[in-house]
Chain A
């Protein structure tokens, strides 16, 4: 059981470039989330999805886009990368009930130079 898989694990982007962070889960979870973790800070929610075809903004959505065409996949798109997007990105999923555990991927360390 792979859980939540994120790719790539590391990436360096130049200012203005675009990229997609991939996230897939094999637990048939309805809910999926993207967080970013800046040094010395907690995780901040970028976007989330409660099911295929449904996405919504979190706390810090500017500069990002998401899609949810299947239950398994929830890619995060960065358009026109900026140094402020240098961070560690986590994808997570949960079954749906509030008390259920959120499972996290291992994170993607992104540096924009």
Chain B
């Protein structure tokens, strides 16, 4: 079974600084997808960024980028120029390729953004 591990329950970053959230996963599959979801206090789950395992290039979305290390099964999220609105729970998720594929989530990292 696939597992996703987020070893940082809480992180803190100053506004305008950069922070990296860690995620590791365990799978025997070679074709899969990885996601970072943001959950603000409103509880809404918002997709931040996705990465296809077959792509070597790291995904980027504006201030958000990932460091995908397939051999190490590591998928970290870097937030640059942090803003107060980035404060939220961040979940790493895994989904194998194919039909009936399901998202497996990590336990989350709570990010605080300070002035």
Contact = CB atoms under 8 A, between A and B. Distances in A.
B43 A33 contact: no
Contacts of A58: 102
A99 B42 contact: no
A53 interface: no
B102 A101 contact: no
Which range contains the number of A residues in contact with the other chain? 20 to 34
A98 interface: yes
A43 B99 contact: no
B99 A48 contact: no
B113 to A, nearest CB: 20
Interface string A86-103: 001010100010110110
Contacts of A41: 107-108
Which range contains the number of B residues in contact with the other chain? 20 to 34
Interface in A33-65: 33, 35, 40-45, 48, 50, 56, 58
Contacts of A101: 35, 47, 50
B4 A42 contact: yes
Contact of B99 (A35, A90, A96, A99): A96
A31 B43 CA distance: 21
Nearest to A107: B43
A56 B45 contact: no
A100 B95 CA distance: 10
Interface string B1-15: 000101001000000
Interface pairs A-B: 3 shortest CB-CB: A42-B105, A104-B45, A107-B43
Interface of B: 4, 6, 9, 32-33, 35, 42-45, 47, 50, 52, 91, 95-108
Given A31-B100, A98-B32, A102-B45, 9 more contacts: A40-B9, A42-B91, A42-B107, A43-B91, A43-B103, A92-B45, A101-B47, A106-B43, A107-B43
